[in-house]
Chain A
């Protein structure tokens, strides 16, 4: 028999034209289940009006980002055990820094617009992917092989970012990380946007993005590197190269 815990989900609710509130649901769970499974059960068996977004259930689509006890989590891979104890109350809230559509669902259109603005790569040659260095030994002639890039466009980094909280036009961690991945020496056309007042210099180096990123993008490090790329690009530009 799998272990059984009782936990209470305290879920943020918000319907159009109604005040927000928290609803509580007490469930029997297996602690090794994922938070998203518990939320889906609330919808299936307790309250059909609950809105939440999910698709892949294995950390590839970026749809299920929420705040669990105030911390951004990809709920499909976050086990209950990793954030709770028996009889705990788990507060589930939508991501911050995005408009709420309903309950746990936010409108991430702004993030996608910014990802489009930097033409973030959805797939990249496997020879450029960070993890396919040895032991796989891809050779340059293998560049016809591509893989999906790491960023799930889940918005966790935007929700956690203190600068995004105060400045909506700020490009933010994921789009800046995507620009870094292009490299400004290959994409000098991106320099104006990255070097603008809403670009790479707005970051306060809080590294909250890296702390919450579920997919190894490490946006904080990439933003620091993008600053170096920006300076080099400006020097190149200054010397007319």
Chain B
């Protein structure tokens, strides 16, 4: 019997991780991406390998997912990670009064935590604001966004998944009852249009997920929520530095190669194909970032960019949970053949893929369990050196 064919739309973190998982479970996988790997939100992510500390007080579900996945990614893709930890620092009374809930939340979520005196913190990170009142060391990390995705994609490709980049999904193939049986795509390298049939289509288009479900006449509760990041041209810290308080604007500074990157904000947007940089937010990043690391004021901006979170559900901005949702549209709308996955974080990409692949496999009658938590990923470079399997499903 031939393997069932699954088309995944989108090659951000979510799509490549699903491709990896499904290839291991014995599916024929084709990933369709309108640009190149990670050209959407994933490439422009801030780059924090969350320990969960940020969510430990208000969003424990996310926090627990983060710490578990943080440990797994350190093990399976050390090639893209700086596993150097992170600090939460208190600069005023409001921060100090948050400490108690923070400690309790981290304990409850299983996030290891070590309290440092200001002197100890300054010893390991001399560029911290010297007026800091307290600091906690937690197992944050940072990652290179594109290479993180490429390592998943390389391994998927090695296991037979096929990647079709620069191919835009323009429509879904529907049977007479509105069920999804494949995709209509435009190959942007040749300007040719073709159809691809599939047993299941997985919509992993993040902030664009609603555009794909609309092609099947369905609504998806995705709220594109962009934020800004500003990279400065000096590597002033070696660890993630977070403000010890409820998540807010510009309260995380990360090292990235010879830079530090300050982020971020959270607002609503309609068209996320191009999100203009808002000048006020650039100023806000400098102001907030330099509270944590004053020397940022002497550095020059090197890159300023925006990316759009695919948040799920109602509410707005920061108050929305950072977990993910996987919808089998058979269950939500009685439409067969389409699964939508959105929300979540880079840090939880593997787990999102596991849950989505479970749903897809259940639909296809595949009982092979998920093995991705224990399989080290191939070198990210192999995405470019392993050829695509020559198979056509048109």
Write the residues of chain A forming the contact surface with B, with a CB cutoff of 8 angstroms. Answer: 2, 15-17, 33-34, 37, 40-41, 44-45, 48-49, 51, 53-63, 76-77, 101-102, 105, 107-109, 112-113, 115-116, 122-123, 126, 131-132, 135-136, 145-148, 150, 152-153, 215-216
Partner of B303, one of A49, A59, A113: A59
Q: Identify which of residues 1-52 in chain B touch chain A, using a CB-to-CB cut-off of 8 Å.
A: 35-39, 42-44, 47
> In chain B, residues 75-93, which have Cβ atoms closer than 8 Å to a Cβ of chain A?
78-84
The answer to whether the Cβ of B363 comes within 8 Å of any Cβ in the partner chain is: no
Q: Which of A44, A122, A126 has the most CB of B within 10 A?
A: A122
How close is A120's CB to chain B, nearest CB, in angstroms? 8
A-B contact pairs, 21 of them (CB 8 A): A16-B189, A40-B274, A41-B274, A48-B168, A55-B43, A55-B146, A56-B145, A58-B229, A59-B303, A60-B47, A60-B231, A61-B147, A115-B381, A116-B382, A122-B80, A123-B80, A131-B235, A146-B83, A146-B84, A147-B257, A148-B256
Contacts of A215 in B (CB 8 A): 257-258
User: Which of A41, A61, A146 has the most chain B CB atoms closer than 10 A to its own CB?
Assistant: A61
Q: Are A53 and B82 in contact (CB under 8 A)?
A: no
Task: Find B259's partner among A17, A37, A58, A76 (CB 8 Å cutoff).
Answer: A58
B385 pairs with A116, CB closer than 8 A: yes
In the bound complex, what is the Cα–Cα distance between A236 and B167 (angstroms)? 53
Q: Does B339 contact A (CB under 8 A)?
A: no
By the criterion CB–CB under 8 Å, are A102 and B257 in contact? no
Contacts of B38 on A, CB cut-off 8 Å? 55-56, 61, 63
Pairs of residues from A and B, 10 with the lowest C-beta to C-beta distance, nearest first = A55-B43, A58-B303, A57-B305, A61-B146, A102-B189, A44-B274, A58-B231, A112-B381, A55-B38, A55-B146
| Chain B contacts to A: CB under 8 angstroms | 35-39, 42-44, 47, 78-84, 126, 144-147, 166, 168, 188-191, 229, 231, 235, 238, 255-259, 261, 273-274, 277, 279, 302-305, 379-382, 384-385
Give chain A nearest CB distance to B313 CB in angstroms. 27
Nearest Cβ in chain A — how far from B70, in angstroms?
16
Q: A76 and B303: CB pair below 8 A?
A: yes
Q: Is B82 a contact partner of A60 (Cβ separation < 8 A)?
A: no
- Once the chains bind, are A58 and B166 in contact (CB under 8 Å)? no
User: Judging by beta carbons under 8 Å apart, are B381 and A55 in contact?
Assistant: no
| C-alpha gap A44/B273 in the complex (Å) | 6
> Which secondary structure dominates chain B's binding surface?
loop
Partner of A54, one of B43, B84, B229, B231: B43
**Bound Cα distance A122, B381 (Å):** 10
Chain A residues touching B, majority SS: loop
Is A147 a contact partner of B255 (Cβ separation < 8 A)?
yes
Q: Which residues of B lie under 8 Å from residue A41 when comparing CB positions? A: 274
A136 to B384, CA, bound (A): 36
Q: Which residues of B contact A146 (CB under 8 A)?
A: 82-84
Q: Which of A15, A56, A108 contacts B189 (CB 8 A)?
A: A15
Most buried by B among A102, A113, A131: A102
Cβ–Cβ contact B39 & A54, under 8 A: yes
> CB-CB < 8 A to A45: which residues of B?
274
Chain A residues with Cβ below 8 Å from B382 are 112, 116
A56→B44 contact, CB < 8 A: yes
Distance in angstroms between the alpha carbons of A150 and B145 in the assembled complex: 15
CB neighbours (8 Å) of A105 from chain B are 36, 166
* CB-CB nearest in chain B for A135: B126
With CB as the reference atom, state the residue of chain A lying closest to B36. A53
Task: Give the docked Cα–Cα distance between A216 and B302 (Å).
Answer: 14
Q: How far is the CA of A145 from the CA of B78 in the complex (A)?
A: 12
B385 touches A112 (CB 8 A): yes
Task: Report the bound CA distance from A51 to B79 in whole Å.
Answer: 29
Bound CA–CA A147/B189 (angstroms): 36
Q: Known contacts A15-B191, A113-B385, A136-B238; is A61 also within 8 Å of B84 by CB?
A: no
- A145 and B385 in contact, given A40-B274, A55-B44, A77-B302 (Cβ under 8 angstroms): no
B109 to chain A, nearest CB (A): 25
Given contacts A15-B190, A77-B303, A147-B84, 17 further A-B contacts (CB under 8 A): A16-B190, A34-B303, A53-B39, A54-B39, A55-B145, A55-B146, A60-B47, A61-B38, A61-B147, A63-B36, A109-B385, A112-B381, A112-B385, A123-B79, A145-B82, A146-B82, A148-B80
| Centre residue among A60, A102, A109 by max chain B CB count within 10 A | A60
Q: CA A101 – CA B35 in complex, angstroms?
A: 12
Q: In the complex the two chains form, is B166's CB within 8 Å of A102's CB?
A: yes
- Which of B44, B238, B257 is close to A132, meaning CB atoms less than 8 Å apart? B238
* B188: contacting residue among A44, A49, A61, A123, CB under 8 A: A49
Q: Which residues of B contact A147 (CB under 8 A)?
A: 82, 84, 238, 255, 257
CB-based nearest A residue for B82: A147
Are B384 and A58 in contact (CB-based, < 8 A)?
no
